[in-house]
Amino acid sequence: MVSATRIVNGKVYDPINNIDGVIRDICIEDGRIVESVPDSATRIEAQGMVIMPGGVDIHCHIAGPKVNAGRKLMPEDHRKDPYPGTAVTRSGSGGIVPSTFTTGYRYATMGYTTAMEAAVPPLSARHTLEELHDTPVIDKGFYVLLANNIFLQNLIKEGRQEEFQQAVAWWMNATRAYTPKLVNPGGDEPWKGKRNTNVHDIDEKVDGISPRQIIEAFVIAADKMNLPHPAHIHCNNLGHSGNYRTTLETMRTAGDKRLHIAHIQFNCYGGEVGKQPASKAAEIIEYINQHPNITCDVGQVMFGNALSMTADAPLAYMLRGINKNKWVNADTECESGCGIVPFTYQGHVYTHTLQWAIGLELFLLTENPWQVILSTDHPNGGSFMNYPKLIRLLMDRGFRRQEIARVNQKAIAKTMISDLDREYSLYEIAIITRAGPARALGLKNKGHLGPGADADITIHDEMEDKEMMFNAPRYVLKSGVHIIADHEFREDHTGRLLHITPEYDQKIEEVIQPFFESYYSVQFENYPIDKSYMHDNEVISTGST
Amino acid sequence: MSENTRTIKNAVCTFCGCVCDDMELTVDLDEHRITKAKNACILGRSWFSEHVIEDRPIAAIGGKEVSFEEAVEESAQILTKAKFPIIYGLSEASVEAQREAVAIADYMRGSIDSTSSVCHGPTGMAFQGVGESTTTLGEVKNRADLVIFWGCNPAEAHPRLFTRYAVTTKGMFIPRGKKDRTVVLVDPRKTASAPVANIHIRPKPATDFEMIWALRALIKGKKVNASIEKVTGVPLETLQDLAERMKNCNFGVVFFGMGLTMGRGRYFNTGALFSMVTDLNEYTHFVVKPARGHGNVTGADQVLTWQTGYPFGVNFNLGYPRFNPGEFTAVDNLARDGADAAMFIASDPASNFPKAAVEQMKRIPVISLDTRRSVTSELAYVVFSTSAWGLNEHGTAYRMDDIPITLRPAFESPYPSDVVILSAIKNRVFELNIDKRSIGMSARSDIGKATLHASM
């Protein structure tokens, strides 16, 4: 390990510190960025190169039970994409859901140094931690699925908001999670208990509770606890024509409190349920432009292979109906559902092109890129390996026009995409891939290069072809460790688990335990996760810790 | 029995795939053994009571006692010198040990396989082919009003599947336990599980596929010829009745065992069953669950999948994982004289593998890690005595429904854990094989990968 490093002569893009392509030195010591280092420090010559903080993926699916089921489901996909080991790295399999080692190394190879697994049932949090431990280089955390938790729903129904908040805090601690995740709130009970139906409206009550009540309860609890990242929601009616109204109502439910809408592209559709969708990207982005309390990640669809994996089991079943391909459903008692379906986005298909164009519209129409974060909802909209190509689509108008010409023109005509001339700058790319997600996550030491920041740094050769440029940074440093130098792996690294520990009144356990003993299949005392699963970890502070 | 005892609550039984975590163990600290296991089934009770500390050397080579370090060195040398070394077992080891074992296979560029390949391997292959609608056991307890056991015998293999998870237990929407459920057993034999069933269907042996295929047709409202009785031994009316029950229940579940996976048809049987359950979800909520045998065979599937992409039968000869059951599975590797060295972890294949495979074990250097003397440890060249997972060591086991449970050890063992042994072997194998692993492997090769991926 190199203890001190000075990077010289590179052009720095650091939006949090308002640095836009200025040539300046970056100094690193003990894994952090510092004001200066001794002359004896290792030097990296970065002339002609672009320096950015390491990428931060705010929403992806990389570890845990559904990811591993998706991995197991796709041997044909791994076979086409082997990933050999090196002197310092483990081997693995690639494809749409790579093995854990390959996931970590490929993120690093792309210049990403932090990633958040976005949907974990609490009962499987231990599994997720074990996989994250085997996901090298990057720092990581996960969002825990709480919106279809029957115990929590009962508290909401009974109007016990204070106890609800205590219980949410207990669950965050018990599972070592980063924030609460809401997926199709209220949709599990119709799926599991009412013969595979779903909830269809944000105000529809199933067994005495509506999605809006659930959303509201989480928004308020997250706000009161001052969580670094607010409730992270996969809205109701995802994927259905006409769902933009649900999305707007979901955002309105938050009022002026913070809320993160996940993969919002999938929730921007006009039209009638069951019929062809239309783009409502403009209506959605208009609301976001006027409401700085909202952040979202786009969930861009990229043409090619994808694997739909979601806690929204009815959605996966609907997708399965399209091609009758192999399908996984996995229920978790009292907590969650899950569905997995292989999927291919094709340029000649109207709906797929429309989805692709809506994602680009969202990026190109936003007035504030800090609110609109780059993601493909990996692997739902396509692999994270598509990020460099997506960056080129945003930065290179000519390339975008070429790609538009190759896809379904009927769909293109229903969107504004052909009229949008905007090109993202490197500064703006640094916002939507680094500074923006770090800020939305409340990670004060990430997404920037000021003193005190984690020394997670990527150094790219500046190239005309932005896809090539972002595909392979020349240097990648993680916590100051020189992971990649001259495009070669030089060191392995475990990475840290990022989690929160909001305070709670221990009396809440007396309320939770009787429910547990009646309806769970594991012992209450064996449910919380002990420290042995934590490896390197960092507690991100909340208002209460 | 001494006075010096302690009680451990919420301890975990790792005997079978039920991984029950409500044991109350009484431990005799002087005699280093468990004297009482409250809540355990008959299998669990003998599991706990039979584990005593045997007087064996920590390590032996060729029958002679050696130091731990010597045995580690010899093992690493054997695995490195071999052209086609294999690792097998894993299902009675913790996830932590399994992770080390896969690392060794990667570094030595050999094969690794778990006992899955001789039990529910065909289940994994069916999963790869058609997917699966499944659940955790708590949802069965809470919701299942139709419970089918197919080709399995929980009364003798998973006793608490009945009492703790699936039949007599009461749940959220099943307030009266068994009274609120219909239990069906499909098995040619009148097993000990038969008295539990409301309906016992006894097909002719090895006609499961035909029976499932007929049920699929009936579920979809297609006509099935009455001659199906001749094929399966089950009257058409019985099949029609079962199809209607399946379509009309609120939450149905099928548990199945090796009667399906190891009978004629193997992954055709399991693939047909998974497809039938998928079909049923057009009418109601339906799930399926393999009744897994060993305490952490599910964990072995999980670890191999997350580290390599494949659940069992994995080979690293080319420097990256490949999957091919029938080629890289342990029985096949041994029986065709392929494997030239073997490491068996917490498993006794010499007692149950086919003769040709066992003959090969006798010809090659074998390394054995086990808590006790076994047929395999007797023929092994390097033998490690290990502490017992779950009883002496912390760690994790995955229940048959993929839920990870943390183990609560009861008493200390003088022997090292398999994690400690495997970790030491791993570090040495890594050093010895460093030349095989290219230093200049370019991170840039991913550029080509990305293009390849986009064009796929």
Show the domains of chain A with their CATH numbers. Answer: 55-423 (3.20.20)
Q: How many residues does chain B have?
A: 456
Compute the distance between CA of residue A473 and CA of residue B20 in angstroms, rounded to an integer.
49
Residue type, A277: P
Compute the distance between CA of residue A55 and CA of residue A435 in angstroms, rounded to an integer.
8
* Residues B281 and B151 placed together within one structural domain of the fold: yes
Q: Are B376 and B361 in contact (CB under 8 A)?
A: yes
Q: Which of A63, A85, A317 sits opposite B437 (nearest CB)?
A: A85
* Residues B156 and B17 placed together within one structural domain of the fold: no
Token pair recorded at residue B232: 């399966």
User: Which residues between 369 and 408 in chain B have a beta carbon less than 8 angstroms from any beta carbon of chain A?
Assistant: 394, 396, 398, 402-406, 408
Q: How far is CA A222 from CA A132, A234, A257, A260, B377, in A?
A: 25, 16, 9, 11, 56
Q: Which of B256, B290, B324 is the last residue of a domain?
A: B290
**In terms of CA atoms, which chain A residue is nearest residue B283?**
A195
Does residue B442 belong to any structural domain of this protein?
no
Residue B61 parent element (H or E): strand B59-61
Q: Which of A71, A75, A522 sits opposite B21 (nearest CB)?
A: A522
What is the distance, to the nearest Å, from the Cα of residue A40 to the centroid of all Cα atoms in its chain?
A: 39
Does residue B71 belong to any structural domain of this protein?
yes
* Residues B225 and B374 placed together within one structural domain of the fold: no
Token pair recorded at residue B386: 């290990």
User: What is the band of A372 on the pLDDT scale with cuts at 50, 70, 90?
Assistant: very high
Q: Which of A533, A289, A59 is nearest to B407 (CA)?
A: A533
Q: How far is CA A200 from CA A187, A243, A263, B378, in A?
A: 9, 10, 19, 64
Compute the distance between CA of residue B367 and CA of residue B85 in angstroms, rounded to an integer.
11
DSSP annotation of A495: -
* Residues B201 and B280 placed together within one structural domain of the fold: yes
User: Which residues between 204 and 263 in chain A have a beta carbon less than 8 angstroms from any beta carbon of chain B?
Assistant: none
Compute the distance between CA of residue B251 and CA of residue B274 in angstroms, rounded to an integer.
16
Does residue B446 belong to any structural domain of this protein?
no
- Cβ–Cβ of B135/A331 closer than 8 Å? yes
Q: Give phi and psi for B298, each to the nearest 5.
A: -65, -40
Q: Which of A80, A100, A97 is nearest to A89 (CA)?
A: A100
- What sections of A123-160 are H helices per DSSP? 125-133, 150-157
DSSP A371-405: GEE---TTTTSS-GGGHHHHHHHHH-HHHHHHHHH
| Segment A79-97 mean pLDDT | 96
* Residues B96 and B203 placed together within one structural domain of the fold: no
Radius of gyration in angstroms for the set of CA atoms belonging to chain A, rounded to a whole number: 22
The neighbouring-strand residues paired with A339 are: A310, A329
Mutate to test the interface with A, among B107, B136, B284, B430 (most CBs of A within 10 A): B136
Compute the distance between CA of residue A121 and CA of residue A135 in angstroms, rounded to an integer.
19
Beta strands in B283-399 (DSSP E): 285-290, 314-315, 322-323, 341-345, 366-370, 382-385, 396-398
Each residue of A428-443: b (16+ CB within 10 Å) or e?
bbbbbbbbbbbbbbbb
Sign of the alpha-carbon dihedral angle for A111, A143, B97, B116: negative
Compute the distance between CA of residue B278 and CA of residue B272 in angstroms, rounded to an integer.
10
Cα torsion at B95, B97, B103, B104 (round to 10°)?
-150
If 0-12 CB within 10 Å is exposed, 13-18 middle and 19+ buried, where does residue A21 land?
middle
Q: What is the pLDDT along chain B (456 residues), one digit of tens a residue?
A: 678 999 999 999 999 999 999 999 999 999 999 999 999 999 999 999 988 888 899 999 999 999 999 999 999 999 999 999 999 999 999 999 999 999 999 999 999 999 999 999 999 999 999 999 999 999 999 999 999 999 999 999 999 999 999 999 999 999 999 999 999 999 999 999 999 999 999 999 999 999 999 999 999 999 999 999 999 999 999 999 999 999 999 999 999 999 999 989 999 999 999 999 999 999 999 999 999 999 999 999 999 999 999 999 999 999 999 999 999 999 999 999 889 999 999 999 999 999 999 999 999 999 999 999 999 999 999 999 999 999 999 999 999 999 999 999 999 999 999 999 999 999 999 999 987 776 544 454 443 343 333 333
Return the biggest CA–CA distance within chain A: 70
User: Which residues between 417 and 456 in chain B have a beta carbon less than 8 angstroms from any beta carbon of chain A?
Assistant: 434, 437-444, 446-447, 449-450, 452-456
Q: Is the pLDDT of residue A492 over 50?
A: yes
Task: Give 3-state DSSP helix, strand, coil % of chain A, rounded to 5.
Answer: 40, 25, 40
Does residue B441 belong to any structural domain of this protein?
no
* Residues B416 and B358 placed together within one structural domain of the fold: yes
Residue with tokens 């840290």: A496
- Cβ–Cβ of B250/A87 closer than 8 Å? no
The CA-CA-CA angle for residues B234, B237, B238, to 5°, reads: 50
* Residues B265 and B213 placed together within one structural domain of the fold: yes
Residue type, A224: K
Q: Which pLDDT value is given to residue B434?
A: 84
Token pair recorded at residue A244: 């933009």
Sign of the alpha-carbon dihedral angle for B172, B173, B179, B181: negative
Each residue of B130-169: b (16+ CB within 10 Å) or e?
bbbbbbbbbbbbbbbbbbbbbbbbbbebbbbbbbbbbbeb
* Upstream peptide bond of A379 is cis (omega within 30 degrees of 0): yes
Q: Which of B290, B311, B345 is the last residue of a domain?
A: B290
- Cβ–Cβ of A488/B402 closer than 8 Å? no
DSSP annotation of A434: I
Q: How far is CA B272 from CA B189, B265, B276, in A?
A: 22, 10, 6
Q: Which pLDDT value is given to residue B263?
A: 87
pTM recorded for the entire structure: 0.96
pLDDT, averaged across chain A = 97
CB atoms within 10 A of CB A131: 26
B143 in contact with A at a CB cutoff of 8 Å? yes
Q: Which of B230, B263, B290 is the last residue of a domain?
A: B290
* Boundaries of domain holding B385: 59-119+295-436
Q: Which of B275, B212, B302 is nearest to A327 (CA)?
A: B275
Does residue B453 belong to any structural domain of this protein?
no
**In terms of CA atoms, which chain B residue is nearest residue A151?**
B172
Q: Which pLDDT value is given to residue B452?
A: 36
Q: Which long-range contacts (CB under 8 A, 24 or more apart) does B56-62 make?
A: B56/B373, B56/B385, B57/B385, B58/B384, B58/B385, B58/B414, B58/B415, B58/B416, B59/B382, B59/B383, B59/B384, B59/B385, B60/B382, B60/B383, B61/B381, B61/B382, B61/B383, B62/B381
| Segment A93-104 mean pLDDT | 98
Does residue B449 belong to any structural domain of this protein?
no
Q: Which of A493, A473, A477 is nearest to A42 (CA)?
A: A477
Does residue B191 belong to any structural domain of this protein?
yes
Q: Which pLDDT value is given to residue A298?
A: 98
Sign of the alpha-carbon dihedral angle for A166, A114, B299, B396: negative
* Residues B126 and B273 placed together within one structural domain of the fold: yes
* Residues B248 and B336 placed together within one structural domain of the fold: no
Residue B28 parent element (H or E): strand B23-28
If 0-12 CB within 10 Å is exposed, 13-18 middle and 19+ buried, where does residue B362 land?
exposed
Compute the distance between CA of residue A345 and CA of residue B456 in angstroms, rounded to an integer.
11
- Cβ–Cβ of B321/A78 closer than 8 Å? yes
| Segment A183-196 mean pLDDT | 96
Q: Is the pLDDT of residue A188 over 90?
A: yes
Q: Are A116 and A92 in contact (CB under 8 A)?
A: no
Residues of A with Cβ-Cβ distance to B408 under 8 angstroms: 526
* Residues B258 and B314 placed together within one structural domain of the fold: no
Residue A93 parent element (H or E): strand A92-93
Q: Are A294 and A257 in contact (CB under 8 A)?
A: no
Q: Are B242 and B184 in contact (CB under 8 A)?
A: yes
A84 in contact with B at a CB cutoff of 8 Å? yes
Q: How far is CA B338 from CA A245, A286, A319, B417, in A?
A: 63, 66, 44, 30
Residue type, A176: R
Q: Which of B250, B138, B131, B251 is nearest to A317 (CA)?
A: B131
* Residues B328 and B431 placed together within one structural domain of the fold: yes
A197 in contact with B at a CB cutoff of 8 Å? no
- Cβ–Cβ of B441/A81 closer than 8 Å? no
Token pair recorded at residue A501: 């520990």
Residues of B with Cβ-Cβ distance to A108 under 8 angstroms: 443
Total number of domains in chain B: 3
Does residue B251 belong to any structural domain of this protein?
yes
Compute the distance between CA of residue B425 and CA of residue B382 in angstroms, rounded to an integer.
12
* Residues B31 and B45 placed together within one structural domain of the fold: yes
Q: How many residues does chain A have?
A: 545
The neighbouring-strand residues paired with A42 are: A5
Token pair recorded at residue A241: 């024509």
Sign of the alpha-carbon dihedral angle for A22, A26, A32, A36: negative
Residue B253 parent element (H or E): strand B251-256
